[in-house]
Amino acid sequence: MTDFNENDILGFDPSQLSVFNEPEQHKSAGNPHIYTTRPADSISEDGIYRATIKVIYNPFDFKHSVLEQQSYAIHDDQGWLTVVSSLTNNDKSCPIFTAWKKCHFAEEKSPLWRQAAREDQGGKNLFDKRFARYVTIQVIEDKNKPELEGQYLFWKLPKSVWDIINAKMKPSAESKKAAIPIMDFLFGRTIDIEVTPGPDDPKNPERKQRETKYMAEISEDCVACTAPDGTSLMTSDEEDVLDKYVTAMREVWRTKDPETRVKLMAEINADPNTAQLKTLYHKVLDKIKQFCPNLIEELGYNEWSDAVRARVQKWIDNVLALKDPAAGDTAVPETVNDVVDTSTPTVAPEPQAVSSATVNTDDDLPF
């Protein structure tokens, strides 16, 4: 857990998120804290999944509020197993990644090279690498799943939505716009999302899920986080303190003159009201931590258990021995069975530039 001083909390610069300052890098099956927005779950006649959410900073570590998770799905005689790779932490010692390099950089067209090469290159494509970008959210409104309203959850952030948030939180210098703290707990914004299913195609039914279209609209008004039951985390007097601060900050967010912004911020920081808000922020943050899951702990990279490590190593040994791991060439200990994801995964390519137009990759699916 990271401790924050006042400057870390109040007025946290969204451009300081680690995702903006580190090189770009799936999800644990059955995690109850993962929010899904599948059109198949929509109650609307048009089949569109609509909801309003609030994407927030990770209360346990502001800078690591956007988790760019890298994982591998391996297939052996026990089924499918997905493991989060240490590549998530920019640690290239991941044994699967190391094995991939041995195959990828082997002599082209050789048997070892074919283990990793794509099928359209005549390879077996055994290394199924996944990428997902996760954030923490509060569900503000969801008529499809009303039981989730108010809950703090994780969401696999579609790239099209991320681009919209990114443009607000880290505007280009040329735009002269101020960074808007979309993810702030007290004066962030809500996001209306619409998830439209792909076309009905009897010959290719998978298109309905794969060609999903995302639309998102960020609110103009600031919205404070609430307790899961919808009650305010502040007293009426504390809300007055927040309102005064937000009123002053609106001028900062509106102006395109950097010098004017600096002057306004100096005045705001010197106001006794801001000192009150800093104290209030600590109080609200402590409350949120009580009912918010920890993004990095749950979905980030953690050391694999001995059972998982042993199973992965057997898979690697078979791959490097030019065997088919799914054929059961090597026995796998029964103790590993409890970590198996028996569903057949869908291969997801590395993320590509995506807009709100039709998407033809699982990479943009929030589930």
Would you list the domain boundaries of the chain? 6-343
- pLDDT of 329 reads 59
Number of residues assigned to the chain: 367
Mean pLDDT (whole number) for 239-248: 97
- Token pair of 186 as six digits: 């007290």
- Tens of pLDDT, residues 17-64: 655 554 333 334 468 999 999 999 999 999 999 999 999 999 999 999
- pLDDT of 20 reads 52
* Predicted confidence (pLDDT) at residue 13 exceeds the cutoff of 80: no
- pLDDT of 352 reads 30
- pLDDT of 12 reads 66
- pLDDT of 354 reads 28
Q: Which own/partner pairs from 342-348 qualify as long-range (CB within 8 Å, at least 24 positions apart)?
A: 342/79, 342/80, 343/29, 343/80, 344/80, 345/26, 345/73, 345/80, 345/82, 345/128, 345/130, 346/210, 347/125, 347/128, 348/26, 348/130, 348/131
Mean pLDDT of the chain: 85
> Which of the residue ranges 34-48, 200-214, 303-317 would you say has the lowest mean pLDDT?
200-214
CATH classification (class only), 6-343: alpha beta
